Structure 1
Amino acid sequence: MKLKRQQRGLTFVGLIIVGTLLALAGIVAAQVFPTYLEYMAVQKAVQKASAGSTVAEVRDIFDKAATIDDIRTISGKDLTVGKQGDRVVVSYDYAREIHLAGPAWLVMKYKGSSQ
């Protein structure tokens, strides 16, 4: 006697739910990715700016690099400039908010330094 095998797989409703969740994750990822790229550009600009010897020079170098790399979230005046030994240390701390839906927001906090 042959036993019937039970079918396995994803139902149409399950497929719609999985597809919706993947689409929502893709939408959020598409909004987060540019903020990460900007963070990488900020880090690169901070490394360049740490070559300055005065606070004004560091901020000016950062602002020039920010203009080239299209950094809009943070400017030279938002940097914390200090000295550690004989090295200039430039640090930053900022947040980006991404509106998801209704009262829901995704907050991305970025922090780094030239060390």
Structure 2
Amino acid sequence: MVNARRQQSGISLLGLLFWAVVLSFLGVVAARTIPTVMEFYTIQSAVDRIAKGNPQTVPLARAEFERIKQVEYSIQSIASQDLTITKDNDKVLISFAYEKQVALAGPVFLLIKYEGHSR
């Protein structure tokens, strides 16, 4: 008779709980930050569209951003006054920067700094 003990393998209950906590925390962080990333890409798209239209004056560019902001309800973190609008060789350059705080749990916040410019 061969004494063939099979050694158990797998994950323990503590290991399972540890990974469940880690994965759920990452899920909460992702669920709270993805909307801010989507807002950034919406702002970037609006800025690119305005710069492509090559507005003649700064107030026209700001008015166009406000018009786009009324249509795109996801833009909440930035106003037209926050845009830096310059001209380089008859090409309009628009840049922006803002910070977004995301509440994670209780007094814990995640600070995300966004920057962008027209292409």
Name the TM-score, length of structure 1 as normaliser.
0.92
Count of residue correspondences: 115
Whether 1:94 and 2:94 are equivalent positions in the alignment is no
- Percent identity between the two aligned chains: 35
Match of 1:81 in 2: 85
For 2:72 and 2:45, how far apart are their aligned partners in 1? Answer: 10
Match for residue 55 of structure 1 among 50, 54, 58:
58
RMSD, aligned CA = 1.2
Contact 1:45 1:65 in 2 (8 A): yes
Match of 1:32 in 2: 33
Match of 2:45 in 1: 44
More contact order relative to length (CA 8 Å, sep ≥ 6): 2
3-state DSSP of counterpart to 1:73? coil
Which 5+ residue runs of structure 2 have no aligned equivalent? Answer: none
Contact 2:95 2:117 in 1 (8 A): yes
For 2:45 and 2:24, how far apart are their aligned partners in 1? Answer: 32
Which 5+ residue runs of structure 1 have no aligned equivalent? Answer: none
Name the TM-score, length of structure 2 as normaliser.
0.90
